[in-house]
Amino acid sequence: MLRQTMTETGAVRGFPGTDARITVFKGIPFADNTSGDNRWRAPQPAKPWEGVRDCYEFAPITMQAIPGKDQNAFYSREWHVDPEVPMSEDGSLALNIWSPAKKSDEKLPVMIWIFGGGLKEGYCYEMEFDGERIASRGVILVTIAYRVNCFGFMAHPELTAENPDAPTNFGFLDQKAGIDWVKRNIANFGGDPDNITIFGQSAGGGSTLAHLCSPLARGSFNKAIVESAGGVAFDYPSNKGMRHYRTLEKAEQDGVKFLEFLGVKNIAEARKLDAWFVEQKFMEFGAMWRGIIDGKYVTEQVDDTVVGGRVADVPIMIGNTNNEFMTDPAGGSGLPGVSVPEPKDAVEEMQRMQDWAKKTYGDDAEKYLELSAARAEAEGITLRKAATVNLNEIGAQLFAEIQSRNGKAPYYYIFGPSFPGDNAGAFHSSDLWFEFETLMKCWRPFDGHHYDLARKMCNYWTNFAKTGNPNGNDADGTPMPEWKKFDHENPCAIKFMDELTFEEDIYDDKQRFVLERNLKNLIK
């Protein structure tokens, strides 16, 4: 097995995984520290070392609220089980590699994972991201770190003046630096630098979209998978602020206010502050900072890039779970553990639904409620449930619709099996256990059909990484259900439910109404 190899900054030594056929390399620096003068700068080159570096431990995670501090929180129980995970600005821009290579000339396909967490939290070696099952299929997995929240997405007039070519979006630039490091070095780990798939979920999926849309990322990767990140930030009341990039001017104003909140006069003083102090103050500041149209790495809104046909011309998979970011017209977020006041009676519930429909669809409000009522009757569900909208589903389907019309149809999926242990359903991020095939690490009492589904999902993901086509055989040599590309004339999807099926014409009348209304607004 290839346990020792070279990188551009020095030799590294890995160790056998739980599966001894896999070599694991933890904590390889792909960029320098981000403390001191490097805080709020584009990632700088990693420093070389002498001798052989033992890559046996993960690097500290980037600065954020303590993961799992509240062990009663939903995601703490799910996977943020270690509130004592090390955290630092020093040495945190590192990556981890799971390689099945026996020698360096194997040219294996490569997958690069970008973690989610709203661009405010998360890290690249959460327990569900273990790479052994992906690597067991002959694919090298790399997971990369990046800066989040105010450390990753700060903007300020001083920063723009200091480095006009990279004034902000440091989190995206960290990801790009990790991708570029892989392209330069992965051949020494048995990988093919010309067969790289980037993939991510939630904010990691949004980051994948950012790279698909950035002119500066062209040629850095060959395929992409966008998971539970929507796709097109369509015109929807609760959707705009959450999904759209800030302008540089607005982001700079936010940065000026934040420095005032920190009690410092300029960037130089802010760079001298303790990192944990800055993080705590940012939590008090209460902002939700996302990507920024800086005119360099991010040149426009994702919507405009997609509609304009300027998305990177590479094979794409995109999809969502069927129970995430649900916008309930009578109130509700679809986020696990987030409660909202229920209507006190049926009269208040209907009034809320009518008010919501009017705000959302204007003169078409009654039409929407009629179509929702028809769906409720057909499926035997409540009107409220029938009228609920899955924002990620609509965004992903709009992306697929427009890409198909532009001659670049993606593969589209919907994930929604039963989830034992509670009544959370296929919640946001629940698919991570399956695509990495790491169900054995979860507290939930999964049974055989869940393990079968996870095996097949991991097969599809790694097949796509190998060839740009997810189709192929299961472990016993039998063909898995054929997954066709999405077609705007025949909208279709593979459905990862308790049974795995491929379905044609997946829209009902209500869904088609929502999509056509938004397509009309998007495509002028």
DSSP 12-42: EE-EE-SSTTSEEEEEEESS---SGGGTTSP
Q: Is 425 helix (H, G, I), strand (E, B) or coil?
A: coil
Burial, 467: exposed, middle or buried (Cβ in 10 Å; 0-12, 13-18, 19+)? middle
DSSP 494: E
483-489 long-range contacts (CB < 8 A, ≥24 apart) are 483/411, 483/413, 484/411, 485/404, 485/409, 485/410, 485/411, 486/400, 486/401, 486/403, 486/404, 486/409, 486/410, 486/411, 486/412, 487/404, 487/409, 488/400, 488/401, 488/404, 488/405, 488/409
CB 474 within 8 A of CB 455: yes
Cα radius of gyration (the chain)? 23
Question: Would you say 483 and 494 are in contact if contact means Cβ atoms under 8 Å apart?
Answer: yes
Pick the closest to residue 251 from 109, 152, 380 (CA basis).
Answer: 152
H or E, element range at 517? helix 509-522
Integer angstrom CA distances of residue 492 from 52, 228, 314, 404, 502? 51, 17, 20, 12, 8
CA–CA dist 314, 522 (Å, integer): 23
Please spell the DSSP secondary structure of 329-390, one letter per residue. Answer: TTS----TT---PPPSSHHHHHHHHHHHHHHHHGGGHHHHHHHHHHHHHHHT--HHHHH-EE
According to the model, what pLDDT value does residue 271 have? 98
Taking the C-alpha atoms of residue 169 and residue 153, their distance in angstroms, rounded to an integer, is 5
pTM score of the predicted model: 0.96
Query: Taking CA 305 as the corner, what is the angle to CA 467 and CA 435, rounded to the nearest 5 degrees?
Result: 35
Asked if residue 17 lies in contact with residue 132, where contact means CB atoms within 8 angstroms, the answer is yes
458 touches 434 (CB < 8 A): yes
Q: What superfamily would CATH give domain 4-43+56-313?
A: Alpha/Beta hydrolase fold, catalytic domain (3.40.50.1820)
Please give the distance of CA 448 from its chain centroid, rounded to a whole number: 28
Q: Which of 92, 99, 104, 202 is catalytic?
A: 202
Find the distance separating the first CA and the last CA of the chain, reported in whole Å.
Answer: 56
For the chain, give me the number of helices (H) and strands (E)? Answer: 18, 18
- Give start and end residues of each alpha helix (H) in 26-148: 74-78, 132-135
* H or E stretch at 396: helix 391-405
Q: How far apart are CA 139 and CA 186, in angstroms?
A: 12
Q: How far apart are CA 52 and CA 9, in angstroms?
A: 11
Q: Output the 3-class SS for 217-270.
A: HCCCCCEEEEECCCCCCCCCCCCHHHHCCEEHHHHHHHHHHHHHHHCCCCHHHH
Query: Would you tell me how many other CB atoms lie within 10 Å of the CB of residue 445?
Result: 8
d(CA 403, CA 400): 5
- Residue-level pLDDT at 310: 97
Q: What pLDDT is attached to residue 344?
A: 86
User: pLDDT digit of tens for each residue in the chain (524 aa)?
Assistant: 999 999 999 999 999 999 999 999 999 999 999 999 999 999 999 999 999 999 999 999 999 999 999 998 999 999 999 999 999 999 999 999 999 999 999 999 999 999 999 999 999 999 999 999 999 999 999 999 999 999 999 999 999 999 999 999 999 999 999 999 999 999 999 999 999 999 999 999 999 999 999 999 999 999 999 999 988 876 555 444 455 899 999 999 999 999 999 999 999 999 999 999 999 999 999 998 999 999 999 999 999 999 999 999 999 999 999 988 877 888 755 556 555 677 888 899 899 889 888 888 889 999 999 999 999 999 999 999 899 888 899 999 999 999 999 999 999 999 999 999 998 899 999 999 999 999 999 999 999 999 999 999 999 999 999 999 999 999 999 999 999 999 999 999 999 999 999 999 999 999 999 999 889 888 87
Label the pairing between strands 23-29 and 94-99. Answer: antiparallel
Q: What pLDDT, on a 0 to 100 scale, did the predictor assign at position 238?
A: 47
- The pLDDT of residue 361: 87
Q: What is the C-alpha to C-alpha distance for residues 105 and 340, in angstroms, rounded to an integer?
A: 56
Find where tokens 């790479």 sit.
Answer: 131
Secondary-structure breakdown of the chain: helix, strand, coil percentages, each rounded to the nearest 5? 35, 15, 45
238 catalytic per annotation? no
| Domain range list for the chain | 4-43+56-313, 340-387
- For residue 225, which of 309, 75, 111, 129 has the smallest C-alpha distance? 111
Residue 201 β-bridge partners:
227
Strand, helix or coil for residue 198: strand
For 170, which DSSP code?
Answer: H
Q: Which amino acid is at 490?
A: N
Neighbours of 523 (CB within 10 A): 10
Token pair for 389: 């909208």
The secondary element (H helix, E strand) that includes residue 209 is helix 203-213
What one-character-per-residue DSSP string does 272-295 give?
A: TS-HHHHHHHHHHHT-----EE-S
438: helix, coil or strand? coil
Q: What token pair was written down for 327?
A: 């916008």
Spatial separation of the C-alpha atoms in residues 371 and 378, rounded to whole Å = 11
CA 376 from centroid of its chain's CA atoms: 32
